[in-house]
A and B are shown apart, each in its own frame.
Chain A
Amino acid sequence: SQQGEEDPQALSIQEGENATMNCSYKTSINNLQWYRQNSGRGLVHLILIRSNEREKHSGRLRVTLDTSKKSSSLLITASRAADTASYFCATLQGGSEKLVFGKGTKLTVNP
């Protein structure tokens, strides 16, 4: 069954602005991951945050995790046109080996 739900479904911003995407999930997790998918391409892993972590940074990416609210956010700072893609959260549920993906947020960064 689907675990993650991204919000918003679509986001359009100007280059240089920050983009924030949210993910909510339903059951307890071991970790939560964010992936990017450019149009017509495969998914690329961006960042993994474990259930005992609250925040993680990687370059212009910042991910937060609130296990009490069962939610995560992905912040992309100083966005670029090349950041245009769909972004998916994926959760590894406790006791499971399956990554369960959300439906994704489609981000458009206008030059």
Chain B
Amino acid sequence: DTAVSQTPKYLVTQMGNDKSIKCEQNLGHDTMYWYKQDSKKFLKIMFSYNNKELIINETVPNRFSPKSPDKAHLNLHINSLELGDSAVYFCASSLSRGIQTQYFGPGTRLLVL
């Protein structure tokens, strides 16, 4: 069984479009994260939710909006996509906000044309 899953795995879209990436974890964890990995493999946190509450909100454009309908799901919606949004987006989860061992999903490869 997949612990942290993301859909879609690949996303190719035009500039200006709006797209969503979904993440689900079946580990019973309280805390979930979104990371962005750029072309140089640099991984940076974007958001974190704990029990549906936003606890980390890094300096990202407000075109990016996370949504956590329940603690097992954390989705990422991106409005007005730009070329610079092309990257791999990873979802992760941890047992709680105080436990930092994180479990990562397989990633969503976003290419904006």
Chain A residues in contact with chain B, CB under 8 A? 2, 30-31, 33, 35, 37, 40-45, 48, 86, 88, 92, 97-101, 103-104
Docked CA distance A101–B45 (Å):
9
Q: Are A42 and B42 in contact (CB under 8 A)?
A: no
Total CB contacts across the A-B interface at under 8 A:
50
Q: Are B56 and A98 in contact (CB under 8 A)?
A: yes
Q: How far, in Å, is B45 (CB) from chain A's closest CB?
A: 5
B-side interface size class: 20 to 34
21 A-B residue contacts at CB 8 Å?
A: A31-B100, A33-B100, A37-B41, A41-B106, A42-B4, A42-B92, A42-B104, A43-B43, A43-B90, A43-B92, A45-B102, A45-B103, A48-B100, A48-B101, A86-B41, A92-B100, A97-B56, A99-B100, A101-B42, A103-B40, A103-B41
